[in-house]
Structure 1
Amino acid sequence: MQFFEQKIKNIYEGLDINLEKKENICFIGAGGKTTAMFRLARELKSLGKKVLVTTSTAIYYPSEKYIDRVLVANNISKINDLKSQRGLMIVIGKDISWEGKLLGLDKCFIDKICSKNIFDYILIEGDGGKCRPIKAPGNHEPVIPFITSITVGVVGLDSIGRFIEDRYVHRPKIFEEITGSLPYEIVTEEKIVKLITSDIGLFKNTPKNSKKYLLLNKAEDEERKKSAYIIRDLIRKKGFKIDGIIISSLLNNDIFRN
């Protein structure tokens, strides 16, 4: 078993992002998805890039500590006003729900924003994880805009060894169907690989021309890192086409790429 040997400082390095090229990046899955998305946004902003963060579903209203502006808008004219500004991180939603969540933009509206060429990078959260370490996508998920150039599937390594039940797995019944599991079996590396590689699993609805990256997060100890290596090697044996795998403990600021 070969371990991850290349430690990197930034998520954008692990995603092979060309800083001279505009990208539309969608995050899906569970286990640190929102944290990873906002971290990437801060990295890109620190390089003087104009970054839009949004969702096609819903996210909790973000803390304004790390962002420049939250914009509630369903009219493209409000977004046109941002053309002259640079080096900003903007969060956009179409409305605020009764529970304080920023409601997402529909795919067509996101495509329209992209066509305006206002932002260097658009980061989109494509589904919700209910704060669980792992999830299976519902029939309507994930919602990935057609213009997405990079799709990042996120899995929390703290799901391994947990029961397949609602406390630890979002949509456990669908997870069971995809992985061939029974209720209350244990989440294993092999089951996670089935979720990742299935046509109706983690990367479901990924646009044909979008690159696929896997982010195995919450590698806080050696046991979880070992699990990440097992997952990586099993994916390779299956011949599943993926453009890159990142193992991380965003909590401890440790990021590695293969």
Structure 2
Amino acid sequence: MATLITSLQKHFHGSESCICITGSGGKTTALIQLANAYAADMKRVLVSTTTKVLYPEDRDYHCDRYFWDEDVFSYSCKKGERVFYARRGPIKAEAPPLKDLERLKEHYDVLLLEADGARGMDLKLHSERDPVVPEFTTATLAIASFSVFGKKLSERCFGCESLPDRIIDEETYAMLLTHPEGIQKRMKGTRAILFNQAERADWSKIESIQRLFPDLPLFFGSLEENILIERKIP
């Protein structure tokens, strides 16, 4: 049986030159697991961000080399290596200039970018400035937690504070999928929408979303356990 990460790799095959990861509820985990998988396939992998991420001392990215300045351009990455590149910020590691990432893209087989922030929330409605998905993006993985049915939307969704009484149900996920500031915002290239932590949801809820959105590339699974529960590719 194919794992979740293997299924995503197969879906992105031929478009993995620059994969942006957006949304909420598992972006960094997906970043790390995809980097590990591509490195295991002897790809040269660059891990970075277009926004902000935790410093490596706060989150282990499992990379072989870490760069914070122009030295990254003189490093010759070997096959099977994972290289982390960001700029130092006062609290978190911050995005290098997009022109740097575009330049480095030519020297790596896979560029993985965490391109969004949700302050640890399970779901998200974006603001005008995010997600930050560069024009040279070749694939986008948008993530949302599928484990918060029955919870208050305002407590679990970044950007949904104006909806204090709404309870999360199938209609909520439909709203997030169709809202202009929702899950699909600024997706480029080969697209995949991952509902993470789907092992905690009833099967009927997975079927309901599939019926409502038959034309979307939907994946349901668990990043933590690397399990694919269901996928629907148009």
- TM-score, normalised to structure 2's length? 0.88
Letter in 1 for 2:86: G
Of the three residues 135, 140, 156, the one matched with 1:168 is 156
How far apart, in 2, do the equivalents of 1:189 and 1:105 lie? 38
Q: Percent identity over the alignment?
A: 24
Of the three residues 216, 228, 231, the one matched with 1:255 is 228
Q: Secondary structure at the match of 1:119?
A: coil
Q: Structure 1, residues 32-74: CA drift from partner, whole Å, max 9, x if none? A: 111011101101111111111111111112345722122112x
Q: How many residues align?
A: 228
1:90 aligns with 2:106: no
State the shift of 1:119 in Å.
0.6
What is the correspondence of 1:1-258 to structure 2 with a 5 Å cutoff? 7-15=1-9, 16-18=11-13, 22-62=16-56, 63-64=59-60, 66-73=62-69, 75=70, 78-83=71-76, 85-95=78-88, 97-99=89-91, 101-114=92-105, 117-165=106-154, 167-173=155-161, 182-207=163-188, 210-223=189-202, 225-236=203-214, 241-242=215-216, 244-256=217-229, 257-258=231-232
**C-alpha contact 1:8 1:14 (8 A) present in aligned 2:** no
How far apart, in 1, do the equivalents of 2:192 and 2:77 lie? 32
- 1:111–1:199 CA distance, 2 compared to 1 (3 A): same
How far apart, in 1, do the equivalents of 2:38 and 2:100 lie? 23
State the shift of 1:143 in Å.
0.2
Q: Secondary structure at the match of 1:85?
A: coil
- 1:191–1:94 CA distance, 2 compared to 1 (3 A): same
Report the equivalent of 1:3: none
State the shift of 1:213 in Å.
0.6
How far apart, in 1, do the equivalents of 2:138 and 2:132 lie? 14
- 1:64–1:216 CA distance, 2 compared to 1 (3 A): closer
- Superposed CA RMSD in Å reads 2.1
- 1:199–1:160 CA distance, 2 compared to 1 (3 A): same
Structure 2 segments unaligned to the other structure (5+ residues): none
Letter in 1 for 2:206: A
**C-alpha contact 1:153 1:213 (8 A) present in aligned 2:** yes
State the shift of 1:12 in Å.
4.1
**C-alpha contact 1:45 1:89 (8 A) present in aligned 2:** yes
How far apart, in 1, do the equivalents of 2:27 and 2:77 lie? 30
- 1:84–1:98 CA distance, 2 compared to 1 (3 A): closer
Letter in 1 for 2:137: T
Q: Secondary structure at the match of 1:205?
A: coil
- 1:81–1:54 CA distance, 2 compared to 1 (3 A): same
Letter in 1 for 2:208: I
**C-alpha contact 2:152 2:167 (8 A) present in aligned 1:** yes
Structure 1 segments unaligned to the other structure (5+ residues): 1-6, 177-181
Letter in 1 for 2:197: K
Letter in 1 for 2:223: L
- TM-score, normalised to structure 1's length? 0.80
Letter in 2 for 1:53: V
**C-alpha contact 2:19 2:138 (8 A) present in aligned 1:** yes
